[in-house]
Structure 1
Amino acid sequence: MQNYDDIFPLVRDILVDMFELDAEQIQPNAKLYDDLDIDSIDAVDLVVKIKEVTGRKVKPEDFKSVRTIDDVVIAVQKLLED
């Protein structure tokens, strides 16, 4: 599970489950804070969940510049490649 097409549905399902979002809202260019109303505490919860799901240690700096769903998917992809 290292390519974008495998990771995007995983990220989408996590967001739907954790934040009760509609799957249709979760598009690659959707902005976490502006479009999906995810705040900084939610973002931390998301990082914790990604750590649980991937079994990888997540460095906060890897997610510091994440702004969109696409950014999250790419960050997870890099995490899995390491």
Structure 2
Amino acid sequence: MSNDEIFACLRDILIETFDIEAERITPEARLYEDLDIDSIDAVDLIVKLKPLVAKRLQPEAFKAVRTLRDVVDALQGLIKSPDTAGA
């Protein structure tokens, strides 16, 4: 799955789940400051992202993310990692 495909899925989740306007969703958008994604929302987001990587997602893998680009990079890393890395 390419970064563009991951971003498109992420964009759809943000629009459908959190009612975020499409024009606010850019790779540089900051989760907390720009999109108002709080810690509870972040957990919901992780649950929605799980099917993209087909493995269990650990919240620790997302502690350092600040922007949507960071989320895409983290997901790409999990997709490319061996099964044990995300479990």
Q: Which has the higher contact order (CA 8 A, sep 6+)?
A: 1
TM-score computed with the length of structure 1 as normaliser: 0.91
User: Could you report, residue by residue, the CA deviation over 1:10-49 in whole angstroms, capped at 9, with x for unpaired residues?
Assistant: 1111111110011111001100000011100000110111
User: In structure 1, what residue type is equivalent to 2:61?
Assistant: D
Residue correspondences, number: 81
Which ranges of structure 2 fall in alignment gaps of 5 or more residues?
82-87
User: Highest Rg: 1 or 2?
Assistant: 2
TM-score computed with the length of structure 2 as normaliser: 0.86
Cα offset, 1:53, TM superposition: 4.2
Q: CA RMSD in A?
A: 1.1
Cα offset, 1:5, TM superposition: 1.4
Which ranges of structure 1 fall in alignment gaps of 5 or more residues?
none
**Where does structure 1 differ by over 4 angstroms across 4 or more consecutive aligned residues?**
none
Taking every aligned residue pair, what percent have the same amino acid on both sides? 54
Question: Which residue matches 1:40?
Answer: 39
User: In structure 2, what residue type is equivalent to 1:44?
Assistant: V
Is the partner of 2:72 in helix, strand or coil?
Answer: helix
Question: Which residue matches 1:20?
Answer: 19
